[in-house]
């Protein structure tokens, strides 16, 4: 392919307009200026080509060369991704540090995967085998947790001519494929894929199992399915980042891809400092051994934020195709949308609401559409999923702003963070009145295996919380003591649910993660308490007597007990106290 060469005509921030770049296509990667800064073609108008530069354009001047690559922005996929920290263009920030120190220099070229490291490849195919796109030809043990399955690249099929076992770099040929048209195609550990194009799969299948996060308010009330989508909007200080970090640490996904998109550098630094030290509750290994980080923080070029999101989702789809469940966490999609707005403004496009481009909804829909549970390409039936969870940062906590309102249309679950709850130290600060999930029916089969009455407990608890919210408004005016006993009981039960179930301490050894079995038992006990106490109220027992029982206060601390037997014993004490109170009032009557 002949090299495309043009010259810079005009520069407007991250937007560079070049001319003479003949043969360029929208989406092609380009190298801009003497420093060969990385950019992408975003618009072609006659002889003029608009480029989005992913690095700082300071010092660029008209007349400098622009070289087209003839290929789109590609993700490099292969062994070496796990445990790595990349920027939005998949350049290793660890390698950057070694080359440039703490301040990243422009124009530095770093290959995403290390070329000097050798991986031990175990063949799964043999000479003479017929293979097609997506078939597994062998494996590499990338970490103690992740087995990296080497796939035949999409679009290729044929017969294995030769295949070798041993230690190889990602650029070494491990097998040779004879294609039907007579070519001999070398197969390597590395392959490439354009980040803006979803990777192919055989078929999309229904989602029927939850992504267990260990956070009670999410798993029990507003669960997200494996292969589903969730949005977590909230104003400044409402706990978006810590909630997403908890999900990254404790979710039962096989692989976690964490994308720090335009957020503060100190928050990302905290994740990168703490993650390597965390122990995986499922395997006992380090969590870093199944995680990938893309850190494109707020002081890096705005345009690269857009690429970082697509890069992360493409890497997730690659592991999905190997048969893994992958959780993609984006913090935050608002900063990604701001990058779209920035480039749209420089292109002088007609703005829509609040200056965002008219195609904002289309881009958000395309992003969340890349989630799903699928049967991957290949002869063996591998099932994998990509679950996308994106934080949204609405200015002033206004959920009616364009990014939040548009995201709510496409997300399957909404975890609406409430600043007032955060100020009251109620964490996770997820507002149970504004949040929702569309996955209750799809996931019911999982939960009823733990308890056939799970759906009833959930609906009853949410009804109690909703009624309590209404009664709290009345109590502020007339005082709680003026309410009838049955309404005061609802307020007491709601208090127990909030403090004993919804509030979760991320720094508590036991309470930081709550398994599904424990979640169901806690909710069952709290609803059982409410039903029993309702009988007492009908007998005329004052709510103060019920509240004053020492064993009732234990309900707030059941979440801190590790063993289910301890929870049962504590509830048994509550039940006996309530029965004693019932007997006392029956005698009095």
Question: What percent of the chain shows pLDDT beyond 70?
Answer: 99
Per-residue pLDDT tens for 323-381? 999 999 998 899 999 999 998 999 989 999 999 999 999 999 999 999 999 999 999 99
Per-residue pLDDT tens for 213-262? 999 999 999 999 999 999 999 988 888 888 988 898 889 999 999 998 88
Phi-psi region of 425 (alpha: psi -120 to 50; beta: other; left: phi over 0): left
Per-residue pLDDT tens for 174-197? 999 999 999 999 999 999 999 999
Mean pLDDT of all residues in 7-14? 93
The reply to whether omega before 570 is within 30° of 0 (cis) is no
Over its C-alpha atoms, the chain yields an Rg (Å, rounded) of: 28
Predicted confidence at residue 589, as pLDDT, reads 58
pLDDT at residue 280 greater than cutoff 80: no
Predicted confidence at residue 97, as pLDDT, reads 77
Rounded Cα–Cα distance for residues 260 and 296 (Å)? 6
Per-residue pLDDT tens for 82-93? 999 898 889 888
| Averaged pLDDT of the chain | 92
Residue with tokens 């005082």: 479
Whether the CB-CB separation of 373 and 384 falls below 8 Å is answered with: yes
The CATH topology of domain 203-438 is: Rossmann fold (3.40.50)
pLDDT at residue 460 greater than cutoff 90: yes
Rounded Cα–Cα distance for residues 473 and 289 (Å)? 49
3-state DSSP helix/strand/coil percent for the chain, to nearest 5? Answer: 40, 25, 40
Question: What percent of the chain shows pLDDT beyond 90?
Answer: 75
Rounded Cα–Cα distance for residues 311 and 485 (Å)? 57
Q: Which of 209-213, 266-270, 511-515, 567-571 has the lowest mean pLDDT?
A: 266-270
Predicted confidence at residue 213, as pLDDT, reads 95
Predicted confidence at residue 179, as pLDDT, reads 95
Yes or no: domain 4-72 corresponds to CATH 3.10.180.10: no
pLDDT at residue 8 greater than cutoff 90: yes
Under the banding of pLDDT at 50, 70 and 90, the label for residue 158 is: very high
- The DSSP code sequence of 146-215 is -EEEEEPPTT--EEEEEE--EEE-TTSEEEEEE-TTS-EEEEES-EEEETTSPPP-SEE----SB---S-
Tokens of 105: 């220099």
Rounded Cα–Cα distance for residues 392 and 301 (Å)? 20
| Residue of 247 and 107 predicted with greater confidence | 247
Return the H-helix or E-strand segment holding 329: strand 325-331
Measured CA angle at 325 (ends 209, 234), to 5 deg = 75
Predicted confidence at residue 588, as pLDDT, reads 59
Q: Which of 77-81, 274-278, 411-415, 478-482 has the lowest mean pLDDT?
A: 274-278
Residue with tokens 């720090």: 260
Which listed CATH number (3.40.50.2020, 1.10.1140.10, 1.10.10.10, 3.30.1490.20) goes with 454-588? 1.10.1140.10
Determine the CATH number of domain 114-189.
2.40.50.100
3-state class (DSSP) for residue 386:
strand
Rounded Cα–Cα distance for residues 384 and 209 (Å)? 12
Domain ranges of the chain: 4-72, 114-189, 203-438, 454-588
pLDDT at residue 209 greater than cutoff 80: yes
- The DSSP code sequence of 399-424 is TTSHHHHHHHHH-SEE--B-HHHHHT
Per-residue pLDDT tens for 123-142? 999 999 999 999 999 999 99
pLDDT at residue 109 greater than cutoff 50: yes
Under the banding of pLDDT at 50, 70 and 90, the label for residue 304 is: confident
pLDDT at residue 1 greater than cutoff 50: no
Mean pLDDT of all residues in 432-456? 96
Predicted confidence at residue 587, as pLDDT, reads 66
């Amino acid at each position: 392919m002949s090299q495309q060469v043009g010259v810079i005509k005009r520069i407007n921030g991250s937007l560079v307009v070049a001319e003479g770049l003949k043969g360029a296509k929208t989406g092609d990667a380009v190298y801009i200026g003497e420093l060969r800064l990385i950019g992408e073609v975003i618009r072609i108008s006659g002889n003029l080509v608009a480029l989005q530069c992913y690095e700082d354009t300071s010092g660029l001047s008209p007349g400098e060369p622009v070289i087209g690559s003839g290929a789109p922005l590609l993700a490099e996929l292969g062994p070496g991704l796990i445990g790595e920290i990349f920027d939005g263009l998949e350049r290793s920030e660890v390698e950057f540090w070694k080359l440039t120190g703490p301040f990243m220099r422009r124009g530095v070229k770093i290959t995403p995967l290390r070329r000097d490291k050798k991986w031990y490849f175990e063949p799964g195919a043999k000479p003479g085998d017929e293979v097609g796109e997506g078939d597994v030809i062998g494996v590499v043990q990338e970490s103690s947790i992740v087995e990296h399955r080497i796939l035949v690249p999409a679009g290729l099929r044929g017969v294995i001519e030769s295949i070798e076992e041993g230690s190889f770099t990602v650029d070494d040929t491990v097998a040779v494929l004879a294609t039907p048209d007579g070519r001999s195609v070398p197969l390597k550990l590395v392959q490439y894929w354009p980040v803006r194009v979803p990777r192919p799969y055989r078929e999309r299948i229904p989602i029927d199992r939850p992504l267990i996060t260990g956070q009670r308010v999410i798993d029990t009330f507003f669960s997200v399915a494996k292969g589903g989508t969730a949005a977590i909007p909230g104003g400044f200080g409402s706990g978006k980042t810590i909630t997403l970090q908890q999900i990254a640490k404790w979710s039962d996904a096989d692989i976690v891809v964490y994308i720090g998109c335009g957020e503060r550098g100190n928050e990302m630094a905290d994740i990168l400092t703490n993650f390597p030290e965390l122990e995986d509750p499922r395997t006992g290994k380090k969590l870093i051994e199944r995680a990938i980080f893309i850190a494109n923080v707020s002081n890096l070029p705005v345009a690269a934020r857009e690429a970082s999101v697509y890069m992360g989702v493409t890497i997730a789809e690659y592991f999905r195709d190997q048969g893994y469940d992958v959780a993609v966490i984006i913090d935050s999609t608002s900063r990604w949308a701001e990058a779209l707005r920035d480039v749209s403004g420089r292109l002088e496009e007609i703005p829509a609401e609040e200056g965002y481009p008219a195609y904002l909804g289309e881009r958000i829909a395309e992003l969340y559409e890349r989630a799903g549970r699928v049967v991957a390409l290949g002869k063996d039936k591998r099932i994998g999923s990509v679950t996308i969870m994106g934080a949204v940062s609405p200015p002033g906590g206004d959920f009616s702003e364009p990014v939040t309102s548009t995201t709510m249309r496409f997300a399957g679950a909404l975890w609406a963070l409430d600043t007032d709850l955060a100020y009251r130290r109620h964490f996770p600060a997820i507002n149970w009145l504004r949040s929702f999930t569309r996955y209750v029916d799809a996931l019911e089969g999982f939960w009823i295996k733990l308890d056939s009455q799970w759906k009833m407990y959930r609906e009853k608890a949410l009804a109690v919380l909703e009624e309590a919210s209404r009664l709290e408004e009345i109590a502020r005016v007339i005082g709680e003591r003026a309410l009838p006993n049955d309404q005061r009981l609802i307020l007491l039960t709601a208090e127990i649910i909030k403090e004993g179930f919804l509030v979760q301490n991320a720094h508590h050894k036991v309470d930081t993660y709550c398994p599904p079995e424990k979640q169901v038992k806690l909710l069952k006990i709290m609803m059982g308490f409410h039903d029993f106490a309702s009988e007492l109220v009908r007998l005329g027992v004052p709510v103060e007597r019920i509240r004053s029982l020492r064993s009732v206060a234990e309900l707030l601390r059941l979440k801190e007990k590790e063993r289910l037997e301890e929870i049962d014993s504590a509830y048994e004490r509550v039940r006996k106290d309530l029965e004693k109170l019932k007997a006392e009032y029956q005698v009095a009557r």
